[in-house]
Each structure stands twice: as structure tokens, then as C-alpha cells.
Structure 1
Amino acid sequence: MQSLKFFALQILLFSSILTVKAQEAKVQIIPEKLTENIYMLTGQGGNIGIFIGPDNIIMIDDQFNHLSSQIKETIATLSKKPIATLFNTHMHGDHTGGNANFNTQEITLIAQDKARERVSENNLKKLKAQEIDSIYYNKMLPEITFSEDLTLYKGNETIMAFHVHHAHTDGDAMVYFVNNNVLHMGDTYFSTGYPFIDLKSGGSVSGYIDAQKRALLLIDDQTKIIPGHGKSSNKNELETYVIMLEDIKENVLKAIANGATLEEVETNTEISKKYDASYGGGFINPERLRATFYSSLK
């Protein structure tokens, strides 16, 4: 019995060491050049968009708090121009976690109305729990918000931001760089995996599909897409993704019409079997996807 206890303690200790090492492992921030002056940065969390304008930089999303220094260092290798604007595509911490580190007198934070509300709610809990102070709390909040649409102009570039309703959350916005023909979709698109649709934060399956269809109306075959997660993408891949989502939605609706329960849909592999090999190996596995579709559509 003692040897078994000792063995269990060894396993626990080994697991703890692995966890610490994983946390200490340095994340690589990797830039991908999409056009002459737009880059996508991947690291840990949501993909970042960088637009290098004539005088300064517009940045879209900022991943986690602990990566801010690395992200700044990587941006500095792309351009010595200062960051002037930081845009949050929505409220989740892997896209807004670095807000306080970027929110200076020189940088203005922008988001959709509901995104700011939810960033405020989440950080107010931390403030009340004394995990952060009031200065940090206020620096996490976007300073400019909009309801439906917002247009920015930088040199010859026109930047269009627009709200898509009840998609990934209730405060999602896409950002389109007109002349560069680059669209940042935030988490309304996971290019290499099944999507995370945050039902508790106002997301919905139908809204998610509608958001992608709206993007398809805007872009063309040459458009480069920055998804919230996954590799950079294009119109053809997004069209394929929409077909996949609509097919699974139809299968779940049929199951619901036939009286299937949540558990039955969750365990029914036939519903998404056609797509699981291509999209089911990411953050959202097939079972969780089917459960999300059922809960949203029921």
C-alpha cells in the first residue's frame, strides 16, 4: 500500500513539474505578412492584426496580459512607428487580456458597445476580489465604442468596423481594410477547427452563420482573412466553412424535430461525422460542438 502511495505521489509531483514547465515555456509571437503593410501575429490566444499606416499603427486584439512585452517587441521588428489605435473584436481575455498594458496616453482603445460592457463586468469581478486595482480596471476598458458601424481613415486606407449580432458573443465586430482587402473576423471564424460559440455571452449558432454570410457579401476571391484562431484564410475556405456549419445545423434541427434530447445529440456521431476529421481536432471537439448547436437551436 505504501509503495502505491509513493508511486501516486511521484506521478503528482511529475505532473506538477510538467505544468510549471509548460507555463514557463516562452510563447513565440510569429508575424505573417499578408500585404505590404498588414501582418497577422500568432502566439497564444486570438490572432492579432497589425496595420502599419503612414504615421502610426492600428492593432487588432492583444492576446494575454503576460505576452504584452513580447508582442510589443515583435511589432517593433515590423515597424518603428508608434501604435495609435487598439481595436478589440470582442470581450474574451485571449483577445483583450493585454488592454491595460497597451492603454497609454498615445493609444486609444476601441470596441463595440457590448464588448466594453462585458470587459467591464469581467474585470469588475476581479476588482471586487482585489485581484486588480482601480487603475488597472479602468485601463482595461475601451475608450471609444460604437453600436453598428465605425469608419477610420489612415492615409489612403479606409478601415470599416461593423457589428455582427449574436454570433460568437453579443459584442462581435469585424474590421475590414478596404484598399488592402484584408478582413479581420475575430472569433466569428475559426479557420482550422470547429467554432466556439459562447452562448452565455450572447452568441448563437444562427447569428454565427449569418455573420459569416455577411463577411462573404463583403469580400472577393483576393481577400485575405485573419480569423480569430487558426491560419490565415480566404473566401473559398470561408464558403466551405459556412456549408459545413449549415449542414450540421440542419442535422441538429432534424434531430430536435424527432424529439432527440441533448445527450442524444451530443453522442450522435452521425450528425457531424462528415466534418469531424477536418475540424474536430481543435479546442472544440465534435461532442461539444453538437451540444452547443442543440442548446442554441432548441
Structure 2
Amino acid sequence: MFSKLILNTAFLFFVLTAFAQTDTGKKVSTKLIKVNNKIYMLQGNGGNIGLSFGNDGIFMIDDQFAEDIEQIQNDIKEVSDKPVRFLVNTHFHGDHIGGNAAMAQTGTVIFSQENVRNRIQEMIRKETKKIPQEALPLVTFSEDLTFHFNGEKIYVFHIHNAHTDGDAMVYFTNSNVLHTGDVFFNGKYPFIDIDNGGSLIGCIEGLEKARLIINEDTKIIPGHGNVGTYKDLIKTMDMLSTVYKRVYANYIKEKTEDEVAKMTDITKEYDDEGYGAGFISTEAFLRMIYKSVALERKSIENNAEKNSQAREKVEKMIKEHEQKEKN
């Protein structure tokens, strides 16, 4: 009884910090933060975890790295001894799905957008990483799905070609809490996985979709960073749009990737606020944006070339027809 009283008192400050040792001896630090009512964010070495606690059990979003999952499970038990019944993967990166196999072994049902399962399955097939079959999501969806759990409606929806090609956001409608996955990094430059279907335009459009669903009172659990607000999300949208326009203009001027990567004036106001202090540096961010613009322009230029060829073909046919008419 006394220990429960101490725990509840600690949660009045909204933070619980725990430490453990991994098998490698590396110290793991996790922090469990109360976001709103029964919704918590768990921070650690990987992407932010979302948790809903209630009478129905525990609803979980992402599970960080495999080597950290034991500590994460222990942290969860400090709040509730009910089982984690459902787990949603926001995308396929290892710092968000590493604990899948361990969670599946406890009976947790794993959900994801269909491209996430395909990506994990491909990694297993190639054996580029030692990922057990149990890590695969058991249930997939194309666009969206809804859970009715712990007394509220939980809306899960697909964000197209943003951070990856399989991103999902999760909105707790009653608690008014949104988990964005890595489409939103709060206060830092994001990573856009262009090689796996990500794009800058997709990120901006994804954040706009989120903006239309939430309101000014919504609490936001980002993929990385501290709990955010509606204003934080708008600020990130503005930052992405501004940098995109500046890089696009320089691409049109035929500046190279190396040249653009050194243009500190493109991001100066954001660098001054510490955006480049995350694990994505300013240079890396500019290179990602440049590559995203280059892919976009390549598609436009290819279509222009196809249209030009089609026009030439039609003009040739018209001339040949006119020539036959004269004969």
C-alpha cells in the first residue's frame, strides 16, 4: 500500500525514471511521462512509445530496441499489471519495432500499415538483420482502422510517403492525444527515409492531415523529442515548407548537393533554435531535402520528356496524313 502511494505521488510530477543494464553492460535510461489522463509517453534509446492504461488492458505504440524491451516491460508494470493487448507499429525502423518479438511472445497482437510488414518481411528474407518471424505484425491495414478500447475511440491512420512508405499516426479521440511516429520530430530536424518511400512533400502533407484532425488543445507524442503541442506541429510544418522552398530554388538554379549542403543561410533561423543539435545534423538534413527535391524534379522532367515525345509523334502523324491527302 505504501509503495503504491509513493508511486502515485511520483506521478503527480508526471515523470518516472528507471535504469537498467543491458546484456552488453550499457546503461539504459527510460523515462515514463504522463501526457493526459491515462495516456503516457515512454522515452528511452529509441523512438517514443505511447501507452494507454485502462480497464481493458494496455494499448501500446512502438517498442524501441530489442535489447531495451525488458526494462520497458518493467516500467509498464510499475503502472499496471494488466497485459499489453495491442501494439501498433508506426513504421518499420528498428528503434520502433525492435521489441516486437518479445511482445508477441507475451500474447500481444501487433498491428501495422501493410507496407511495414512487407519491409520487415523483406529484411528477414535478406537476413540483413537477425529478426525473428515473431516480429512481424499479425494484422495489417491499408488506410486506417479504429479500436474501441479503454473507454475511448482510437483512430489509426496511414500517412503516405512521408518518413517512410508505411507511416501511421494514432489519435486517442477522448484523451485528445496524437502519436505521430517519426513524421514529426519535435524541435529537431527529422530523418526522411527516401530509400524506403519517404519524401519531404509527404511529411508536410502528413502533418497537414494531422492538423485537420486535432485541435489547439491536443497533446502530441512525437517520434522523437519532448511532448509537443498544436503550435509545435505548425512550427515544424512551417520549417519544412520554408527549407523546401529554399532548397528547391537552388536546385532550379542548378546548384549541386554539395553546394546546397554548405548553404548555412538556408536554415540559419532554425539552427539558432537548436534544430541541428539532434541526431540529424543541418548538413544531413539539407542533403535529404536536396535528394527529395531531385526525385520530385526527375519525375516532372520525365513526364515533360514523355509529353514532348508524344507531341512529336502526333505532329509526325498529322504531317504524314496531310501528305497522303495531297497525293
Q: TM-score, normalised by structure 2?
A: 0.80
Q: Does 1:169 align with 2:170?
A: no
Give secondary structure in 1 for the equivalent of 2:227.
coil
1:25 shift after superposition? 2.9
Given candidates 194, 209, 218, the residue that maps to 1:214 is: 209
CA-to-aligned-CA distance 1:233-288 (integer Å, 9 cap, x gap): 01011111111111100100110111111111111111111211220111111111
Residue matched to 2:225: 230
Please list, as runs of the form range in 1=range in 2, the aligned pairs for 1:113-124 lying within 5 A after superposition: 113-124=114-125
Given candidates 268, 271, 279, the residue that maps to 1:276 is: 271
Q: Contact between 1:88 and 1:96, CA under 8 Å: does it hold in 2? A: yes
Please list, as runs of the form range in 1=range in 2, the aligned pairs for 1:1-298 lying within 5 A after superposition: 24-104=25-105, 106-126=107-127, 132=130, 137-278=132-273, 279-298=275-294
Q: Following the alignment from structure 1 to structure 2, what is the Cα–Cα distance between the partners of residues 98 and 124? A: 19
Give secondary structure in 2 for the equivalent of 1:287.
helix
**For this pair of structures, how many residues does the alignment match?**
271
Q: Of the two, which has the highest radius of gyration?
A: 2
Give secondary structure in 2 for the equivalent of 1:24.
coil
1:198 shift after superposition? 0.4
Q: TM-score, normalised by structure 1?
A: 0.88
1:221 shift after superposition? 1.3
Q: Following the alignment from structure 2 to structure 1, what is the Cα–Cα distance between the partners of residues 53 and 231? A: 27
Q: Contact between 1:170 and 1:202, CA under 8 Å: does it hold in 2? A: yes
Give secondary structure in 1 for the equivalent of 2:161.
coil
Q: Which runs of 5+ in 1 are unaligned?
A: 1-20
Q: Following the alignment from structure 1 to structure 2, what is the Cα–Cα distance between the partners of residues 41 and 155? A: 19
Report the AA paired with residue 27 of structure 1.
V
Report the AA paired with residue 49 of structure 2.
I
Identity over aligned pairs, percent: 44
Q: 1:243 to 1:92 in 2, by over 3 A?
A: same
Q: Contact between 2:124 and 2:133, CA under 8 Å: does it hold in 1? A: no
Residue matched to 2:324: none
1:105 shift after superposition? 6.1
1:115 shift after superposition? 0.7
CA-to-aligned-CA distance 1:130-177 (integer Å, 9 cap, x gap): x74xxx622010000000011010142000000000000000000000
Q: Following the alignment from structure 1 to structure 2, what is the Cα–Cα distance between the partners of residues 64 and 106? A: 19
Q: Contact between 1:244 and 1:275, CA under 8 Å: does it hold in 2? A: yes
Give secondary structure in 2 for the equivalent of 1:28.
strand
Q: Which runs of 5+ in 2 are unaligned?
A: 1-21, 295-327
The Cα RMSD (Å) is 1.4
